[in-house]
Amino acid sequence: MAQEKKLSREAVYELLEQKYKQYNQAAFIKDDPVLIPHRYSKKQDIEIAGFFAATLAWGQRVTIIRNTTRILELMDNSPHDFILHHEDKDLKRFLGFVHRTFNDTDLLYFIEFFKWFYSSHDSLERAFTGSMSQTDIHTEKALIGFQELFFSLEDYPHRTRKHISSPARKSTCKRLNMYLRWMVRRDKRGVDFGIWRHIKPSQLLIPLDVHVDRHARGLGLLKRKQTDWQAVLELTENLRGFDPVDPVKYDFALFGMGVLDKQ
């Protein structure tokens, strides 16, 4: 990392561009949780599968993929159809599911929310855009509004709140920001889907985890001591200096340097 600290701004830009191009390609998909929604072609299936994959995205990637695959198998690999048309007796199959601290109580509430939401909406995008406008600089309002909507159903389990983060609690919202990247970013490289059109790529915020954090600091892109919501805003703003239209494309570079370069 000491070598990275000496890099000029131009050299940092060149490194980010190089690593972005290296990792933002179809070969990246097979070992990443984004593999899960890539198994589907129907928009709502992509949204639901992607949301579960992003929600479970902490720990080893192989375990994330395996456990998310299990959830979708329990939905007969037709998540949107299952969400809308399942009966109460069909929910027994989810009892006993666990992924780290995410358990069957959380999973059953997710299913309940999705059934409520998709019964009156065609796309999960509306759950995010209802609290923001296209003139907002970034998606902070969308994330706050989404969490409030998600837990607006009566008698939601309090324990489940920890699985849907919010900037209002100073969280980095890493998994939600990653999910938005998947749904919103659009290019011809085949990883991100770009199926949502009411949020602009320029409004996206960096999914900040320990790997991205470490390399961003090493490159002089992040000065804030805490790894929190303000750090997300600071890093994204610095990345906008390199690409104001699509700053979060550099997630590929920073994550790749933190995880994939070591493999």
**What mean pLDDT value characterizes the chain?**
95
pLDDT tens-digit map of 47-62: 999 999 999 999 999 9
pLDDT tens-digit map of 84-131: 999 999 999 999 999 999 999 999 999 999 999 999 999 999 999 999
pLDDT value for 258: 73
- Per-residue CA distances from 3 to 8, 12, 19, 198 (Å): 11, 11, 16, 40
pLDDT tens-digit map of 168-195: 999 999 999 999 999 999 999 999 999 9
Whether this prediction's pTM lies above 0.75 is answered by: yes
Cβ-count burial of 129 within 10 angstroms (0-12 exposed, 13-18 middle, 19+ buried)?
buried
pLDDT value for 6: 74
To the nearest whole percent, how much of the chain has pLDDT over 70? 96
